[in-house]
Amino acid sequence: MKKLYLFMLTALMITFSSELIAQDIVITEIMYNPPESGTDSLEFIELYNNGITNVDLTGWSFSQGVSHTFGAVTMNPGEYVVVAVDAGAIQNVFGYSTAIEWTSGGLSNGGENIVLVDAGGITVDQVDYDDSGVWPSGFSSGNPDGGGASLVLCDPNSDNDDGSNWFASTTNSGVTINGNVALASPGAADNVCLTLCNSVSSFTAVACASYTVPSGDEVYTTSGIYLDTIPNAAGCDSVMTIDLTINNATIGTDVQVACGSFTWIDGMTYTASNNAATSTIVGGAANGCDSIVTLDLTINPVATGTDVQTACGSFTWIDGVTYTASNSTATSTIVGGAANGCDSIVTLDLTINPVATGTDVQTACGSFTWIDGVIYTASNNTATSTIVGGAANGCDSIVTLDLTINNATTGTDVQVACGSYTWIDGVTYTASNNTATSTIVGGAANGCDSIVTLDLTINSAVTGTDVQVACGSYTWIDGVTYTASNNTATSTIVGGAANGCDSIVTLDLTINSAVTGTDIQTACGSFTWIDGMTYTASNSTATSTIVGGAANGCDSIVTLDLTIESPNDAGTGDTVTVCMNEPIDFDTLSSLGTVGTWLDFTNTSVSGVNSIALAGTYEYRYIVSTSLNCDPDTAFYSVVVDGGCDYLSVDQEMMSDISVYPNPATSVLSILNPSNTSSLKVEILDMNGRVVLVENNLLNNTSKATISIDYLQKGIYTLRVYNEKAQKTFKIVKQ
């Protein structure tokens, strides 16, 4: 509900006084019953920013009428926002392209309350429109209740919940619906408002320091009577007379004196003097303006000091506490004890020195006079003596006597020596002696003198010869390894004689040499030598020592010179099928080539290319004897001559010019067909007769073709070139 401002016709100007508190966001146009049949698509509500500042509509909503919550929408001063049931229909009919579609609901044709609330749920504006009474009504053409017109509020400062302030729109859209022209101005001032005129008003305003007029055009800092004009939605002016009173803020100084720190009305704790801080008490002055307070603060420091004390055992301080240990943390506060009136905080620096105690350990022979002046003739561990202030820290020193009284001792030093002996008296004796004596001052275990009598026996050293015979080298008792005969070396065995004296030994050594030789051997496959090892490979480094095997009794060292030959291997035999008169290449029939020798079924040597004219099965032997020290090895081959084909027949002769190269081959095999014999097929078989390659179109009216044999294992293969009339085979060696 708006505060009522009287809106008048041009000819009628009435001045009145009221407080200007017009709500900024105003509902200014409503299309509740458009001239449509069935579902209404042109219903809308228009909002207008009647203020002088931007308004954020985020979170605002309609709590009655329709259902809609605004997203991020900001309205500038004098700006319109249109919320409609169908934004596309609004644009099509009225040309307004930025309408916001409400979420749900529709406007009642009989009237209802439209309520706009802010994000906090507080009512901003409400219009309870109707289709009767003081509200513009009627369903005939040009009326708002189905006649094509919307409801329009021309003066946003007027009470928009009063139907007498609303008018039927006269803005022609140019669109006729069901015989009625659609009349509305969504997002703009309506034509009907152009027939209305200016309004005037006056009000009283009170402000602190400055005042901005409603239009925002002027800011005043002194009291007075002022005029302000605001253009309204109709294009007319709203003229206001303002009776303005300007009040000033009050200022003052808060003088404070504190010790150490002070917390002021601004919530700040100050630890130093300050005369610049200010605090504003909003509305704190008697005239309702702010009160500005300046702080004048003096911070006096708290006085501190240290009480240094030294005591023996314990100390009672000003805080009444008796301390028995050193302390540098205790404090005592003397309230107001400082010269500036603040507290005086004293810190104790106390050193507690203990009374010193100790034991005076003494050992004496016969008697002892102590610090107490008493002469003790027996051991004592109970006597005490106090030395006043005798400790290093200035405290008393209490000493306990721990006295041991010992007596002098006697004894005999029994010694046995070889040749001579120097005794503790510094005399060197070369003969036995049992009468010499020596006094060792303090030499007894108890610290007294020790009187010793010598009992000395002098013995003589022993000599001898160690005769030795060795092979190659000899390590003697002196730790030296001798590799040649020697009869001059000597060694002294300390205490080695039966009498305990040294034994001096002379070496008499004879060194004999070991015998060496080589055992040359040749064997087939493996060889077991004298060392018990079986060797399967040639060896020229193995040695074997025959202990004592030499004529001089030394070892005999034999080196093996062994050659191991590999057993002969003729490979695995095979069965080969050929045609009568077909060439057989015995040099390539075995994968070993010409390493071995071929013998035919008559035991005749065979080599090179041969052929057999008669059908049948013929046995051949392939003999390898390259290792002369090994037995020959034989592989047996069967050659089956097929009587059903003849290599020399007409068809076979047609294929006689077909050749294969290279042979042996490693990766690629070439086949030549100079006669261009047609429809030839190619296949390769391994030695077990398995087909490993088939090519049906390789040689089809062509003179040359190649075959990749990379993937084949090394060995002998049969290559067969054939058609329906003839065939030709080759033995191929894959390397």
Q: What is the pLDDT of residues 523-578, one digit of tens each?
A: 898 899 999 999 998 999 999 999 888 888 888 899 999 999 888 888 888 898 88
The torsion angles phi and psi of 681, rounded to 5 degrees, stand at -115, 155
Nearest-angstrom CA–CA distance, 475 and 455? 41
| Of residues 548 and 122, more confidently modeled | 122
Which CB contacts under 8 angstroms, 24+ apart, belong to 335-342? 337/303, 338/300, 338/302, 338/303, 339/303, 340/259, 340/300, 340/301, 340/303, 341/259, 341/300, 342/259, 342/260, 342/300, 342/301, 342/302, 342/303
By C-alpha distance, which of 54, 89, 94 is closest to 73? 54
Of 51-55, 209-213, 695-699, 702-706, minimum mean pLDDT range: 695-699
Non-local (6+) Cβ contacts of 523 within 8 A are: 535, 562, 563, 564, 565, 629
Q: What is the reported pLDDT for 229?
A: 75
Tell me: pLDDT of 280 over 60.
yes
The torsion angles phi and psi of 165, rounded to 5 degrees, stand at -90, 0
Tell me: pLDDT of 13 over 60.
no
Nearest-angstrom CA–CA distance, 314 and 324? 4
- Residues 606/600, Cβ–Cβ less than 8 Å: yes
E strands present in 129-236: 151-153, 166-168, 172-177, 180-183, 199-208, 211-212, 219-220, 224-231
Q: What is the reported pLDDT for 228?
A: 81
By C-alpha distance, which of 20, 23, 27, 24 is closest to 5? 20
Specify the 3-state DSSP secondary structure of 571.
Answer: coil
Q: What is the reported pLDDT for 690?
A: 80
pLDDT band at 648 (very low <50, low <70, confident <90, very high): low
Q: What is the pLDDT of residues 43-100, one digit of tens each?
A: 999 999 998 899 999 999 999 999 999 999 999 999 999 999 999 999 999 999 999 9
Q: What is the reported pLDDT for 638?
A: 93
- Residues 237/230, Cβ–Cβ less than 8 Å: yes
pLDDT band at 2 (very low <50, low <70, confident <90, very high): very low
The torsion angles phi and psi of 586, rounded to 5 degrees, stand at -70, -15
DSSP, res 486: B
Amino acid identity of 526? S
pLDDT, mean of residues 311-332: 92
Nearest-angstrom CA–CA distance, 315 and 121? 74
Q: From edge to edge, which strands make up the β-sheet containing 113-117?
A: 68-69, 61-64, 113-117, 123-128
Nearest-angstrom CA–CA distance, 652 and 657? 10
Rounded (5°) CA angle 403-406-411 = 160
Looking at domain 649-735, its CATH architecture is: Sandwich (2.60)
By C-alpha distance, which of 1, 60, 58, 52 is closest to 26? 1
pLDDT band at 27 (very low <50, low <70, confident <90, very high): very high
Q: What is the reported pLDDT for 8?
A: 30
Nearest-angstrom CA–CA distance, 116 and 130? 17
25-200 and 649-735, same CATH topology: yes
Of 57-61, 296-300, 338-342, 476-480, minimum mean pLDDT range: 338-342
pLDDT band at 234 (very low <50, low <70, confident <90, very high): very low
- Residues 677/723, Cβ–Cβ less than 8 Å: yes
Q: What is the reported pLDDT for 649?
A: 62
When the candidates are 3.50.50.60, 3.30.70.1280, 2.60.40.1260, 2.120.10.30, the CATH number that belongs to 25-200 is 2.60.40.1260
Report if pTM > 0.75: no
Q: Kind and range of the H or E element at 492? A: strand 490-493
- Residues 147/140, Cβ–Cβ less than 8 Å: yes
pLDDT, mean of residues 372-378: 92
Cis peptide before 662 (omega within 30 of 0): yes
Tell me: pLDDT of 653 over 70.
no
| Of residues 8 and 655, more confidently modeled | 655
Residue 193 structure tokens: 């408002």
Exposed, middle or buried, 15 (CB in 10 Å: 0-12/13-18/19+)?
Answer: exposed
pLDDT band at 233 (very low <50, low <70, confident <90, very high): very low
Note the Cα 537 to chain centre separation in Å. 58
Tell me: pLDDT of 198 over 70.
no
By C-alpha distance, which of 64, 63, 32 is closest to 45? 32
Q: What is the pLDDT of residues 586-602, one digit of tens each?
A: 888 888 877 889 998 88
Residue 90 structure tokens: 């609004």
Specify the 3-state DSSP secondary structure of 550.
Answer: coil
Non-local (6+) Cβ contacts of 690 within 8 A are: none
pLDDT band at 215 (very low <50, low <70, confident <90, very high): confident
pLDDT band at 248 (very low <50, low <70, confident <90, very high): confident
CA dihedral 641, 647, 648, 652 (to 10 degrees): 150
Tell me: pLDDT of 513 over 60.
yes
Where do the structural domains in the chain lie, given as residue ranges? 25-200, 250-300, 303-353, 356-406, 409-459, 462-512, 515-565, 649-735
Residue 599 structure tokens: 């013998």
CA dihedral 147, 149, 153, 159 (to 10 degrees): 20
By C-alpha distance, which of 392, 389, 390, 368 is closest to 379? 368
* Mean pLDDT over the full length of the chain: 87
Best-predicted range by mean pLDDT (194-198, 400-404, 493-497, 685-689): 400-404
pLDDT, mean of residues 5-13: 29
Residues for the chain: how many in total? 735
Tell me: pLDDT of 461 over 80.
no
Specify the 3-state DSSP secondary structure of 629.
Answer: coil
Strand partners, 544: 558
DSSP, res 194: G
Exposed, middle or buried, 632 (CB in 10 Å: 0-12/13-18/19+)?
Answer: middle
pLDDT band at 232 (very low <50, low <70, confident <90, very high): low
Q: What is the reported pLDDT for 282?
A: 87
Of 120-129, 181-190, 336-345, 644-653, minimum mean pLDDT range: 644-653
pLDDT, mean of residues 329-355: 88
The torsion angles phi and psi of 652, rounded to 5 degrees, stand at -65, -40
Specify the 3-state DSSP secondary structure of 713.
Answer: coil
